[in-house]
């Protein structure tokens, strides 16, 4: 068929012999890409009379949207909460290294820190597209310091803050800037939190509830004010109680405003959450589950001592503790590992496991029209995976940015 280049001179790529995750199911069809976007082949054939310039045989791989990690504190020796002279090179390293684990976009996460650290680090992070240089940056996730002392987890108590009179101004003074901020985790039981949630939401910033002793009615009120996310469900919050289930109760609350969905993060690393708890959450509210790594600087490194912001942490196998304690402090799991563990622990479908790391985080951030799906005209950020969900290749904007080396196999 002759190629009609009236629409664009850019080459058309046709990925053949694959199963594509589209409309919540794996479908045996080809994937068409041009200029970094997913093409509708019918429009190409009938409107443009076009055809592929380059065909690629996917060898029966699964093609799924790229993973989106909305809570990652660092990795490979880099700690996003440590102000250093070469901070930019550190974030570049992480964004490059996570490509091999299927992450095409992420939210670098800062844990509770002194104001001086926020003022130094936040201006050095900018929202950017992904590519051969690494995964795209969607904006920063600020976890703390406006959280509960009782549920501080690995956050340093001396840096925790409450909302004073003029609460939002206090938050602005603490962070210095909200220019590149995408998510803020706070404890909704704090006085004046409602006005802060409203103000953040009006600025397009996602408010997440976490590190909190909130009861269910306080959590529901936060959702009415605009909160849409729960930070690492079950961890650093009141345990489920049948008379007052706390934040966990949001999963089945009948007081969520119409048309609103509450999402919740889960660290599916086999350490932070018992598989039974993972199953309970998933069965209660499957469309809200967002897989996060909560990875720290020690991800990808040998066991030993590393940092998480102001704290020293110790890695022992897959466990990470504040040094000298048994307080869990982030994880060393990669996103592809979390997806596989989630699939195994819940017995869910492959499609469901993949969407928990792609579609759901995109919906949380309101970017599902560009990312998290393989719908026509969306960004061509996708993965080639084996049947057992090991990443074979990672593509961003239609360009292969990482491929598994099979020469030695």
Residues in a beta bridge with 147: none
Residue 393, annotated ligand binder? no
- Round to the nearest angstrom and report the end-to-end CA distance of the chain: 39
Say whether 128 sits in a helix, a strand or coil.
Answer: strand
* 294 in active site: yes
Report DSSP state, residue 6: S
Residue 221, annotated ligand binder? no
Q: How far is it, in rounded angstroms, from Cα 17 to Cα 62?
A: 9
Structure tokens at 255: 């007081």
Residue 330, annotated ligand binder? yes
Q: How far is it, in rounded angstroms, from Cα 361 to Cα 380?
A: 17
Q: How far is it, in rounded angstroms, from Cα 19 to Cα 61?
A: 6
Residues 6+ apart with CB under 8 A from 205: 178, 181, 182, 183, 184
Residue 39 and residue 12 in contact, taking contact as beta carbons nearer than 8 Å: yes
Residue 242, annotated ligand binder? no
Residue 272, annotated ligand binder? yes
Is the bond preceding 264 in cis, omega lying within 30 degrees of 0? Answer: no
Q: How far is it, in rounded angstroms, from Cα 130 to Cα 142?
A: 21
Residues 6+ apart with CB under 8 A from 306: 77, 79, 296, 297, 298, 312, 313, 314, 315
Residue 392 and residue 384 in contact, taking contact as beta carbons nearer than 8 Å: yes
Residue 155, annotated ligand binder? no
Residue 235, annotated ligand binder? yes
Residues 6+ apart with CB under 8 A from 44: 12, 32, 50, 51
Residue 211, annotated ligand binder? yes
Residues in a beta bridge with 106: 69, 137
Q: Which of 79, 294, 336, 379 is catalytic?
A: 294
Cα-Cα-Cα-Cα dihedral sign, residues 193, 199, 205, 206: positive
Residue 329, annotated ligand binder? yes
Residue 57 and residue 16 in contact, taking contact as beta carbons nearer than 8 Å: yes
Residues in a beta bridge with 305: 314
Known binding-site residue numbers for substrate: 154, 235-236, 243, 272, 328-330
Known binding-site residue numbers: 143, 154, 211, 232, 235-236, 243, 272, 328-330
Q: Which residues are catalytic?
A: 294
Known binding-site residue numbers for Zn(2+): 143, 211, 232
């Amino acid at each position: 068929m002759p190629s009609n280049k009236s629409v664009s001179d850019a080459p058309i790529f046709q990925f053949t012999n694959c199963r594509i995750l589209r409309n919540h199911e794996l479908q045996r069809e080809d994937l068409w890409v041009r200029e970094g976007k997913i093409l509708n082949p019918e429009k190409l054939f009938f409107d443009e009379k076009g055809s592929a310039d380059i065909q690629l045989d996917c060898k029966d791989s699964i093609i799924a949207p790229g993973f989106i990690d909305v809570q990652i504190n660092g990795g490979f020796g880099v700690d996003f909460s440590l102000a250093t002279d070469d901070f930019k090179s550190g974030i570049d390293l992480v964004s490059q290294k996570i490509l091999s684990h299927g992450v095409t976009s992420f939210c670098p996460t800062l844990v509770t820190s002194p104001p001086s650290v926020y003022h130094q680090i936040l201006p050095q992070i900018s929202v950017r597209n992904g590519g051969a240089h690494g995964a795209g940056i969607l904006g920063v996730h600020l976890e703390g310091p406006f959280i509960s002392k009782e549920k501080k987890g690995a956050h340093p108590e001396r840096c925790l803050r409450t909302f004073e009179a003029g609460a939002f101004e206090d938050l602005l003074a603490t962070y210095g800037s909200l220019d590149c901020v995408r998510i803020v985790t706070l404890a909704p039981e704090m006085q004046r939190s409602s006005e802060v949630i409203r103000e953040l939401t009006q600025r397009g910033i996602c408010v997440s509830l976490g590190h909190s002793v909130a009861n269910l009615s306080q959590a529901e009120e936060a959702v009415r004010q605009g909160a849409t996310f729960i930070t690492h469900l079950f961890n650093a919050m009141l345990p489920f109680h049948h008379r007052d289930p706390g934040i966990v109760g949001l999963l089945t609350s009948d007081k969520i405003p119409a048309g609103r969905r509450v999402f919740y993060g889960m660290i599916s690393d086999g350490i932070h959450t018992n598989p039974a708890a993972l199953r309970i959450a998933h069965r209660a509210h499957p469309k809200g589950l967002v897989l996060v790594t909560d990875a720290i600087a020690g991800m990808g490194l040998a066991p030993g001592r590393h940092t998480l912001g102001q704290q020293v942490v110790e890695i022992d196998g897959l466990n990470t503790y504040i040094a000298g304690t048994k307080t869990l402090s982030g994880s060393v799991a990669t996103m592809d590992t979390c997806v596989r563990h989630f699939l195994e622990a819940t017995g869910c479908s492959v499609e469901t496991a993949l969407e928990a790391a792609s579609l759901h985080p995109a919906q949380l951030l309101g970017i599902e029209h560009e990312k998290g799906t393989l719908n026509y005209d969306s960004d061509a950020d996708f993965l080639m995976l084996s049947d057992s969900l090991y990443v074979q290749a990672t593509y961003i904007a239609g360009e292969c940015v990482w491929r598994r080396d099979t020469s030695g196999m």
